[in-house]
Amino acid sequence: MVENSAGSFPLPLGFAMNFKINGRELAIPFAIEEPSVIAAASYAAKLALPDGFTATASEPIMIGQIQLVNVPDIEQAHWKIDAQKDKLLALASALDAPLVKYGGGARDIRAKIFETPRGKMLGIQLLVDCRDAMGANAVNTMCEALAKELELITGGKARLRIISNLAVHRIARASCVWKKDAIGDEVIEGVLDAYEYAAADIFRASTHNKGIMNGIDAVVIATGNDWRAVEAGAHAYAAYGGKYLPLTKYAKTASGDLLGQIELPMAVGLVGGATKTHPLAKIAVKILGVKSARELAEIIASVGLAQNFAALRALSTEGIQRGHMELHARNVAVMAGAAGAKIDEIAAKMIAEKNIRSDRAKELLAE
């Protein structure tokens, strides 16, 4: 899978339970090393029962970008490209017959003039329906081929020819109502206050969104998808309106329950890449039972919302550290030198004492 291979760097693989998404009960694979993430997501999903999560995903449209510089008449070039749009789209689609066979292909071309310190540049956006692929290889191939044709049309020089990870046309959304009878009025008020803090302060918003990505990345990795691309798209989308904001929103319903919603780009696929070559990724996809990339995106968005609710509930009530450190106690015991049955024994003593520290673990091991 990679060059200069010297081995592998495995992550723990666990399952988040209690999820019900669009009426379907699921055990969701998480590849992650951070204690408490899976437990938190499972607890949030349990509190959402019996209704669970409702999720949707838009068409799998990805954006390819072609940068043109040194264009002699950039305004005229803009119109020339528009006049030859059909020809350019046909040329792009012809490069990927299997994608077209399954209903995908190039859909639109858009041009925009940019003023930069190095002069005017023409930015081309190629919109491609990638179906059940993430789309990077297909889009990059189309961009590279179209670049030559665009140079002939405009008289300019093509520089960058690559996919954009800000997939604003490939959006996943999920929502959930947590009943006040299940979570209590104090939790509802705490979550609402925590959300508004994140909406007002970029420093909090950054950590708010990191918590969302705890769950999202874990599922993206487990299914063999590109978590770096998903991360880049999510954080760029958070700032898409000109201010970095939370990817989730919370409000109180008319009946006093808590409504949570999430919206973010979700460029994931089921064909190509590690999804089809990594044996554990293939098993994870099979366990999820998904038949399309859009269905996978809906699941991942629901996980992100659950993860965020769990974090805000803990933060605004007893604090994040208690549950996190209890689950981290075994790691602390191992770092102190414990092995075998001593790991659980020392972890249990530290939890009972509410003193989960490496120096205390060493003291208990010595005893």
DSSP string, 153-168: HHS-EEEEEEEES--T
Phi, psi angle pair for 203, to nearest 5°: -65, -40
Residues 154 and 205 in one domain: no
Tens of pLDDT, residue by residue over 266-296, are 999 999 889 989 999 999 999 999 999 999 9
| Domain end residue (candidates: 107, 130, 164) | 164
Number of domains in the chain: 3
Residues 66 and 45 in one domain: no
Residues 253 and 336 in one domain: no
Residue type (1 letter), 64: G
Residue 355, pLDDT > 90, answer no
Tens of pLDDT, residue by residue over 180-239, are 999 999 999 999 999 999 999 999 999 999 999 999 999 999 999 999 999 999 999 999
Tens of pLDDT, residue by residue over 166-178, are 999 999 999 999 9
Of 266, 50, 304, nearest in space to 175 by CA = 304
Residues 136 and 281 in one domain: no
Q: How many residues does the chain have?
A: 367
Q: Is residue 27 part of a domain?
A: yes
Residues 314 and 327 in one domain: no
CATH value at residue 152: 3.30.70.420
Quote the mean pLDDT of the chain: 95
User: Cis before residue 279, ω within 30 degrees of 0?
Assistant: no
Domain interval for residue 357: 322-366
Q: Is residue 88 part of a domain?
A: yes
Q: What is the pTM of this model?
A: 0.90
Residues 152 and 178 in one domain: no
Tens of pLDDT, residue by residue over 117-136, are 999 999 999 999 999 999 99
Residues 106 and 160 in one domain: yes
Residues 291 and 328 in one domain: no
β-pairing, 53-57 vs 24-31, is unpaired
Q: Which pLDDT value is given to residue 319? A: 58
Model confidence at 320, pLDDT cuts 50, 70, 90, reads low
Residue 24, pLDDT > 80, answer yes
Residues 115 and 36 in one domain: no
Q: Which pLDDT value is given to residue 322? A: 60
Q: Is residue 8 part of a domain?
A: no
Query: How far is 67 from 63, CA to CA, in rounded Å?
Result: 13
CATH value at residue 39: 3.90.770.10
Model confidence at 323, pLDDT cuts 50, 70, 90, reads low
Q: Which pLDDT value is given to residue 324? A: 59
Q: Which one has a higher pLDDT value, 218 or 354?
A: 218
Q: Is residue 288 part of a domain?
A: yes
Percentage with pLDDT > 70 across the chain:
97
Residue 327, pLDDT > 80, answer no
Q: Is residue 40 part of a domain?
A: yes
Looking up tokens 């119109």 gives 79
Q: Is residue 3 part of a domain?
A: no
Asked whether the beta carbons of 60 and 130 are under 8 A apart, the reply is: yes
Asked whether the beta carbons of 65 and 162 are under 8 A apart, the reply is: yes
Residues 205 and 292 in one domain: yes
Residues 194 and 135 in one domain: no
Which positions ≥6 away from 203 have C-beta within 8 Å?
A: none
Where would I find the H helices in the chain?
Answer: 37-47, 74-83, 85-94, 97-101, 136-154, 180-183, 185-200, 202-222, 227-238, 274-277, 279-288, 293-315, 321-335, 341-353, 358-366
Q: First vs last Cα of the chain: how many Å apart? A: 47
Residue 321, pLDDT > 60, answer no
Q: Which pLDDT value is given to residue 335? A: 87
User: Dihedral (C-alpha) 250, 255, 257, 263: value to the nearest 10 degrees?
Assistant: -30
- Identify the three-state secondary structure at position 354: coil
Residues annotated as catalytic (active site), given as ranges? 34, 210, 226, 324
Asked whether the beta carbons of 68 and 77 are under 8 A apart, the reply is: yes
Query: How far is 71 from 81, CA to CA, in rounded Å?
Result: 12
Which positions ≥6 away from 327 have C-beta within 8 Å?
A: 35, 36, 39
Q: Is residue 121 part of a domain?
A: yes
Q: Is residue 2 part of a domain?
A: no
| Domain end residue (candidates: 124, 147, 164) | 164
Residues 255 and 143 in one domain: no
| Domain end residue (candidates: 104, 137, 164) | 164
The count of other CB atoms within 10 Å of the CB of residue 5 is: 7
Looking up tokens 């994140």 gives 198
Residue 308 vs residues 76, 114, 209: alpha-carbon distances, Å: 48, 37, 8
Asked whether the beta carbons of 174 and 302 are under 8 A apart, the reply is: yes
Query: How far is 143 from 60, CA to CA, in rounded Å?
Result: 17
Average pLDDT over residues 101-125: 97
Residue type (1 letter), 309: F
